[in-house]
Amino acid sequence: MDKMFHAVRLDSDKCTGCINCIKRCPTGAIRIRSGKAKVLKELCIDCGECIRVCPTHAMKAVYDHLSITEGYEYKIALLSPTIFGQIRNLEDLDYVMTAFKKIGFDDVFETSRAAELISEATRKYMNSKSYEYPVISSACPTVVKLIQLKFPDLCSHVSPIKSPMQIAAKMAREEAINKTGLDTEKIGVFYISPCTSEVTEAKNPIIHGETGIDGVIGICEVYHQLVATMEKLDKVDAIANSGLIGVSWAIDGGESAALMSSHYLFAGGIENVMNVLEEIEEKKFKRLHFVELRACDAGCVGGILTVKNPFMAKARTQILRKYLPVSMNHLETDGIPTEMLLGASINPVEGMKLSDNLFDALAIMQKIDGIEKKLPGLDCGACGSPSCKTFAEDVALGYSTENDCVFIMRDQVQHFAKQMSLLGMNLGENRADDND
């Protein structure tokens, strides 16, 4: 496990230093230094916004390719339910699942099966009333990381239940061991993912704990081969085992609708998510029980590794639901099985550390205040930092100098010019005196 792994990378050669990305990044994780973007890994939450706005494609998503499956005796494709909305006129999940078997997988498992179990477990959790209102879904790793970094007081609101990807990976592996008798290391579980956020969480699991996933393949990597294979299918295997409750997790409001409660709210898109979190922090939603937040528009179908327009994929998923039973997966116990719970609580994360020493940190904070007072407060980004506040922090920590601010530089040039002109006038007067 690479603790600094992020699925969003920069190709410096393509970066023109245009500052589009620093203005868009929700956590202020990007700086422009020497004309090129630089991502501060400790602040990056893998939302993919910088990829969406980069005009030169210098920011890109990293994911595994199909070749990662080589070397495993038994290969399982773990499907995000977002894949179904990518396919036109789909009425039967088995078309997609059978096509995955034709392109090299031995088995296919829907994460929507685990989503149905999580919906049931969350209903039990909500009925227990042993939580702080409102409960915030833990399903989107980007949202949880955003809460840890920017809304630390809301960490205790995050649902303690693991994500569908993680629970499904365990279920798929166990089923495969029972079916084949193979040792676990001979079985490869490969998640077919819609987003960078889940790529990072699978490879560097800091929220949901060890995932048991051996590779994460972007939907965009397999899409064309999948569609071409589906077109040639004359019969399909009966593999699908999830209903509309699980498949609906792919689109906005799907997770909340399964809770059978009217006191819920959904928000998708990183700016909307930040606005909702701010209002929860201000205790504006007093009657709300559950909040479903996704970093992407329209829900997970809007992930950066999908192929189709998110709203089109959402519409297709809604139509597909007509052909599905309500739910196919149910918990076998009265309570919530402990293996479905996060192993550790969600805690705040300090982004940019000022100092390990409290007195030094206070001194740096004073310095930041002093520098910020000299700045115009326009958050123009011309200095290479996303805002005047972050620029003041960068200067105080020695990563930038005050002269990187064009306004401070302009004032200094004007001051210098004034001094020069005064000096010139003095010299002129002295010469006039000499002539007298």
Q: Is residue 384 a contact partner of residue 395, using CB atoms and an 8 Å limit? A: no
The reply to whether 320 sits near ligand SF4 by the rule CB under 6 A is no
Which listed range, 28-36, 158-166, 253-261, 357-365, lies at the site for ligand SF4 (CB under 6 A)? Answer: 28-36
The reply to whether 115 sits near ligand SF4 by the rule CB under 6 A is no
CA distance 31 to 29: 7
**Sole binder of ligand SF4 in the list 31, 58, 136, 313 (CB under 6 A):** 58
DSSP-derived secondary structure letter, 68? G
| 3 state SS of 10 | strand
**Sole binder of ligand SF4 in the list 54, 202, 217, 396 (CB under 6 A):** 54
102 CA to centre of own chain: 31
Give the nearest distance from C-beta 32 to ligand SF4 in angstroms: 6
Give the nearest distance from C-beta 204 to ligand SF4 in angstroms: 13
* 10/383 with CB nearer ligand SF4: 10
Q: Is residue 163 a contact partner of residue 125, using CB atoms and an 8 Å limit? A: no
The reply to whether 230 sits near ligand SF4 by the rule CB under 6 A is no
Which listed range, 14-22, 253-261, 387-395, 425-433, lies at the site for ligand SF4 (CB under 6 A)? Answer: 14-22
CA distance 107 to 93: 14
**Sole binder of ligand SF4 in the list 9, 17, 171, 227 (CB under 6 A):** 17
* 77/274 with CB nearer ligand SF4: 274
The reply to whether 29 sits near ligand SF4 by the rule CB under 6 A is yes
Which listed range, 48-56, 68-76, 255-263, 408-416, lies at the site for ligand SF4 (CB under 6 A)? Answer: 48-56
Phi-psi map region of 136: left, alpha, beta (phi>0 left; psi -120 to 50 alpha):
beta
The reply to whether 44 sits near ligand SF4 by the rule CB under 6 A is yes
The reply to whether 277 sits near ligand SF4 by the rule CB under 6 A is no
Tokens encoding 363: 């001194």
Phi-psi map region of 398: left, alpha, beta (phi>0 left; psi -120 to 50 alpha):
left
* 245/300 with CB nearer ligand SF4: 300
Which listed range, 40-48, 63-71, 108-116, 277-285, lies at the site for ligand SF4 (CB under 6 A)? Answer: 40-48
Phi-psi map region of 402: left, alpha, beta (phi>0 left; psi -120 to 50 alpha):
alpha
Q: Is residue 368 a contact partner of residue 398, using CB atoms and an 8 Å limit? A: no
**Sole binder of ligand SF4 in the list 9, 31, 42, 49 (CB under 6 A):** 49
The reply to whether 8 sits near ligand SF4 by the rule CB under 6 A is yes
Q: Is residue 137 a contact partner of residue 290, using CB atoms and an 8 Å limit? A: yes
**Sole binder of ligand SF4 in the list 5, 9, 18, 402 (CB under 6 A):** 18
Give the nearest distance from C-beta 29 to ligand SF4 in angstroms: 4
Here the contacts of 31-39 (C-beta below 8 Å, separation 24 or greater) are: 31/384, 31/385, 31/386, 31/394, 31/399, 32/381, 32/384, 33/384, 33/399, 36/10, 36/12, 37/10, 37/12, 38/10, 39/6, 39/8, 39/10
Which listed range, 24-32, 87-95, 260-268, 315-323, lies at the site for ligand SF4 (CB under 6 A)? Answer: 24-32
The reply to whether 45 sits near ligand SF4 by the rule CB under 6 A is yes
Reported in sequence order, the residue ranges of 236-349 that DSSP labels E, i.e. its strands, are 264-268, 290-294
**Sole binder of ligand SF4 in the list 31, 39, 154, 290 (CB under 6 A):** 39
The reply to whether 59 sits near ligand SF4 by the rule CB under 6 A is yes
The reply to whether 120 sits near ligand SF4 by the rule CB under 6 A is no
Angle 71-76-78 from CA coordinates, rounded to 5°? 135
The reply to whether 248 sits near ligand SF4 by the rule CB under 6 A is no
Give the list of residues 6+ apart from residue 319 with CB closer than 8 angstroms, or none: none
* 161/195 with CB nearer ligand SF4: 195
The reply to whether 56 sits near ligand SF4 by the rule CB under 6 A is yes
Burial 367-377 (b: 16+ CB within 10 A, else e): bbeebbeebee
- The residue ranges that bind ligand SF4 (CB under 6 A) are 8, 10, 15-21, 24-27, 29-30, 32, 37, 39, 44-50, 53-54, 56, 58-59
